[in-house]
Amino acid sequence: MEPQERQQQQGMSEEDLTRMNRVLRHRLRNLASGIKSTVAYLSQELAGRLAPQELEYFPLVLNECDALSDLTSRMSLLFDELPPGSDMMAGDWLQELSVRFHDRFPTSLLAVEAAAEFQAVALSSPAWLSAAAMELLTNAAEAAPAKLVRLKGLVDGGDAVLRLQDSGPGIREEELAQCFKPFYTTKVRHLGIGLGIAGRWAGRLKGQLKAERQTAGGLIFDLRWPIDRSEINHRLTPAAT
């Protein structure tokens, strides 16, 4: 047996790596949950016996546990499969997305605008679109906390377009080509998986995700995917009486 063949046989297959990835994320979630429960219990039991400055560490640990749990959940969107979800109209989907955003980022402002044509788009994979859109919204909210995020739905030729405009500091021109790569980030204490997740699910929609720098700062993201324009025209055409 040649050395190269022996090395390939001894190495882990892609299926093995995927399984290990899932096991590690599952263990991390359990670890974070266990630590959080223990710290919450200790903070109550020791509340009257520790100095105030010592109690300040407990919320920090709890926040880190929440961040770890959130990370493992988001990692599943980067590596695992996701059911496409039930069919729904884009107008209804956009309303649900707005509610999810406000629940997660109550101090951020979201301005939503949707053309009539966009609202009439039938979504066959709304869960995939939500996975991409929520990561874009999360990126925008984290780039500029408590500032305005603009979200617009429109139809351009044979594509539906979801356009997001944030109020963050933006990035340099040379960083645009890197921003969709998993684990690339320009932010402190971030892993850089959000835009990679968004790009992955844009691809599953047979669509494209592009970023553009704004002159005044911030970024504009265009998520577009192909649609049947004739179906939209049919839905918007008044029925004959």
Query: Which of 136, 144, 146 lies closest to 224 in space, CA to CA?
Result: 136
Structural contact between residues 128 and 201, judged by C-beta atoms closer than 8 angstroms: yes
- 3 state DSSP class of 180: coil
Q: ∠70-137-74 over CA atoms, to 5°?
A: 25
Per CATH, the number for 88-233 is 3.30.565.10
Query: pLDDT value at position 203?
Result: 93
105-137, pLDDT tens digit by residue?
998 889 999 999 999 999 999 999 999 999 999
**157: number of Cβ within 10 Å:** 9
Q: Tens digit of pLDDT for each residue in 152-177?
A: 999 999 999 999 998 877 777 777 77
| Nearest-angstrom CA–CA distance, 240 and 43 | 68
Please spell the DSSP secondary structure of 53-104, one letter per residue. Answer: HHHTHHHHHHHHHHHHHHHHHHHHHHHS-------EEHHHHHHHHHHHHHHH
Per domain, the residue ranges of the chain are 3-79, 88-233
Average pLDDT, the chain: 83
